[in-house]
Amino acid sequence: MSNIATYVVGNFFDKISSPKNIKTGLITSLTVVVISQLLIFYVFVAARVNPADSYIEAFKGLFNCPDCGVIVLWEMIITAIGLLLLNFKVYIFILSFLILFGGIILIRVIPDEWYEVGDIPALMLLIGAPAVIIGMAGVEILPYIIGNYS
């Protein structure tokens, strides 16, 4: 029974660590990162801020709040960044897709031999990308959630 399980697990690791699957996973994760960041800032953060506010005043306000706690400062930073992105929304949108297409081209240009370095680095690449997406979304959304429930 253990020989069958070893064979199945070995085939699974060989299949997901093939260069084609690694490239597909990286392209998918890069696409999800860019789209999720655009959605978070242009939907969630934009709904929380007043676009008439100045991002310069928002960044200055960070230094004029000595009594603010960590959560409030964290929320103020995300709001200031959101205001900055909303001020330059067309340029940020174009830059996001340039980063996406540049990353896709870079991933496709890298030779397959570079991806054939072993199973553990390949798995770390495939598992690390969703962890980065979840971490970035958490950093951006968590202060609003904590602020609403505290």
Q: What is the pLDDT along the chain (150 residues), one digit of tens a residue?
A: 567 777 677 777 667 667 787 788 778 878 888 888 888 777 777 777 776 677 788 888 878 887 788 888 888 888 888 888 778 888 888 888 898 898 889 888 877 777 766 556 666 666 777 777 778 777 877 877 777 776
Q: Three-class SS of residue 84?
A: helix
91-99 contact pairs (CB < 8 A, 24+): 92/41, 93/38, 96/34, 96/37, 96/38, 97/34, 99/34
Q: What pTM did the predictor assign?
A: 0.67
Which among 97, 92, 94, 80 is positioned nearest to 45, based on CA atoms? Answer: 80
